[in-house]
Amino acid sequence: MHELSLCESILQVLEQNAQSQGYSQVKAVWLEIGQLSGVELEAMRFGFEVVTRGSLADGARLEIVELPGQAWCMKCAKTVQVKQRFDECPDCGSYQLQVTGGEEMRIKELEVD
Amino acid sequence: MCTVCGCGEGETKIEGHAHEHDHDHPHHHDHDHEHGHHHYGEGPAHAHAPGMSQSRMVQIEQNILGKNNEYAAANRRFFSDHGILALNLVSSPGSGKTALLTRTLDDLKGELALSVIEGDQQTANDAERIRATGVNALQINTGKGCHLDGHMVGHAMQSLEPADGSVLFIENVGNLVCPAAFDLGEAHKVAILSVTEGEDKPIKYPDMFHASDLMILNKTDLLPYLEFDVAKCIEYARRVNPGIRILQLSAKSGEGMESWYQWIRATRQIVMIDHPELLTGSGICA
């Protein structure tokens, strides 16, 4: 997808928080990435390494927590698990689903020096 | 404007002369192009915090796209303040986006104030095609970038200066993947799919069709020569987005174009709810 620009955004956030949070080096970054966010995790790891080179996060460890895709099935009136956006309800087979989780792309926390 | 701007050197170029304003941060401008393009990218903060050496955890809980979303929100506020209907047109390369747009501009320019932002990796060819219709257009070249973002559109607004109560078409880079995630501040994403492509594109690229409010099925004049299953295509689109509205048309023959114009008019009326002053005496609304 656009993992490289996402990694650039992450670096921007790290740099912007450096002053207010009082750190000069980032040793690890925890991300929460939803299964429906369209992010390719391997491309993310590669992009992160490339983008952070020579920055305050050079060599930082990237930890990615994957969050499951969830949707509200209008027919069953309950939350079900989905792997893709066009999945049918695993119980009733309806496509009338409203995605409720799994679209996250969040920087959760940092280990800093 | 540009109060939250991280302008620095980059590969993006925006036509025009939008950079007379002063920035109070390091800036790199490269004016070696005939149009005086605007270059920018990300600007490192190089922050230092002396005296801190103990490793510790910091909770930040920030959306990765937070910065883009801020730019998009600023754009949305601008559009709302000025009664501008902004539409983000997305599709694969070759779906006939520019042809649809030029015909639309030709047919509506007597009735509505219009302007266009053209996004492509390289060349100003599309903006020139648009300008040939007499409508104001601005080209953004994203360089290696695969999508427009909120920041680029915000800058483009400074040069383009769309009229109050107008309709702004933003033709995104031809790509059904990346532009889905980057909000530009538009009122609606409009996905254009042509019948020369596969009918399963909505489920091959579900994010884009999920993010769009309207799907236009273009080049319907070619249907007799193809094995494109329209019903199947519509069913796939509704699977990823049960609420999506679908229009079938041919920008070449003109069939179905009136429905698209009605959609634009109706959508613009919604924007006008907050701007009754723009509906009377402006000369832009019949």
pLDDT at B178 over 70: yes
Residues of B with CB under 8 A from a CB of A: 6, 42, 44-50, 52-68, 145-147, 149, 177-178, 180-182, 202-203, 206-207, 210, 236, 238-240, 242
Name the closest residue on chain A to residue B46, using Cα atoms.
A15
Could you read off the pLDDT of B131-145 as tens digits, one per residue? Answer: 999 999 999 998 878
Under 8 Å CB-to-CB from A58, ≥6 apart: which residues? A52
Residues of B in contact with A97 (CB under 8 A): 242
Residues of A in contact with B58 (CB under 8 A): 17, 21, 23, 109-112
pLDDT at B281 over 90: no
pLDDT at B255 over 90: yes
Tokens of A30: 């925890």
Is the CA virtual torsion A67, A68, A71, A73 positive or negative? Answer: negative
Q: Contact B187/B165 with Cβ under 8 angstroms?
A: no
- Is the Cβ of A113 closer than 8 Å to some Cβ of chain B? yes
Q: Which of A6-20, A61-75, B19-33, B178-192 is least confident? A: B19-33
For chain A, the straight-line distance linking the first and the last C-alpha, in angstroms and rounded, comes to: 32
Is the CA virtual torsion A111, B4, B9, B11 positive or negative? Answer: positive
Could you read off the pLDDT of B196-209 as tens digits, one per residue? Answer: 999 999 999 999 99
The band of B265, judged by pLDDT with boundaries at 50, 70 and 90, is: very high
* Closest partner CB to A38 (pick from B52, B145, B181): B181
Q: Are A107 and B60 within 8 A, CB to CB?
A: yes
Residue A73: which H helix or E strand, with range? strand A69-73
- Is the Cβ of A54 closer than 8 Å to some Cβ of chain B? no
**pTM reported for the whole predicted model:** 0.82
Could you read off the pLDDT of B45-80 as tens digits, one per residue? Answer: 333 444 445 689 988 889 999 889 999 999 999 999
**What is the predicted ipTM?**
0.83
Q: Are A112 and B58 within 8 A, CB to CB?
A: yes
- Is the Cβ of A19 closer than 8 Å to some Cβ of chain B? yes
Q: Are B54 and A113 within 8 A, CB to CB?
A: yes
Q: Are A2 and B61 within 8 A, CB to CB?
A: no
Residues of A in contact with B180 (CB under 8 A): 38
